[in-house]
Amino acid sequence: MSKWILLLGGSTGHGAATAKKLASEGYGIIAFHFDRGEAKKIANDTIEEVNQISKNKCHYFNTNAASQKTMDKYIPKIKEITNGEPLKLLLHSIAFGTTTNFFGDKPVTQRQMDMTVHVMGNSLLYWTQNLYDEGLLSKGSRIIGLTSEGNYLAMEGYGPVSVAKVAMEAIIRQIGWELGSEGITANSVQAGITPTRALTKITDNWEHWVKNTKKRNPMKRTTEPEDVANVISLLLLPEADFINCSIVYCDGGESRSGTI
Ligand SMILES: NC(=O)c1ccc[n+]([C@@H]2O[C@H](COP(=O)([O-])OP(=O)(O)OC[C@H]3O[C@@H](n4cnc5c(N)ncnc54)[C@H](O)[C@@H]3O)[C@@H](O)[C@H]2O)c1
Question: For residues 16 and 204, which has the higher predicted lDDT (pLDDT)?
Answer: 16
In this prediction the pTM is: 0.98
User: Can you state the angle between helices 159-179 and 123-133, rounded to 10 degrees?
Assistant: 30
What integer is the mean pLDDT of 4-15?
A: 98
**Would the CA dihedral through 98, 40, 16, 183 be positive or negative?**
positive
Cβ-contact 82, 138 below 8 angstroms: no
Centre of ligand 1 to C-alpha 181, Å, is 30
Q: Which atom of ligand 1 is nearest to the CA of 12?
A: 20
- pLDDT per position as a tens digit, 210-239: 999 999 999 999 999 999 999 999 999 999
Please give the single-letter amino acid code of residue 255.
Answer: S
pLDDT at 12 over 80: yes
DSSP code string of 74-140: HHHHHHHHTTTPPPSEEEE---------SSSSSPPPHHHHHHHHIIIIIHHHHHHHHHHHTT---TT
pLDDT of residue 203: 81
In this predicted structure, the answer to whether residue 202 has a pLDDT above a threshold of 90 is: no
pLDDT greater than 90 at residue 19: yes
Query: Ligand 1 centroid to 82 CA: how many Å?
Result: 25
Instruction: Determine the atom of ligand 1 nearest the C-alpha atom of 165.
Output: 43
Phi/psi at 21 (5° precision): -60, -50
Q: Is the pLDDT of residue 115 over 80?
A: yes
Please report which confidence band the pLDDT of residue 104 belongs to, taking 50, 70 and 90 as the band edges: very high
Nearest CA to ligand 1 atom 17: 198
Work out the mean pLDDT of the chain and round it to a whole number: 96
In the reported structure, the alpha carbon of residue 234 is separated from the centroid of ligand 1 by a whole-number distance in angstroms of: 21
Contact 122, 70 (CB under 8 A): no
Could you tell me if the CB of 60 is within 6 A of ligand 1?
no
d(CA 222, CA 213): 6
Closest CA to 66 of 39, 42, 32, 38: 32
Ligand 1 centroid to 9 CA: how many Å? 6
Residues paired with 144 in a beta bridge: 91, 187
Residue 31 beta carbon below 6 angstroms from any ligand 1 atom:
no
Predicted local confidence at residue 108, as pLDDT: 98
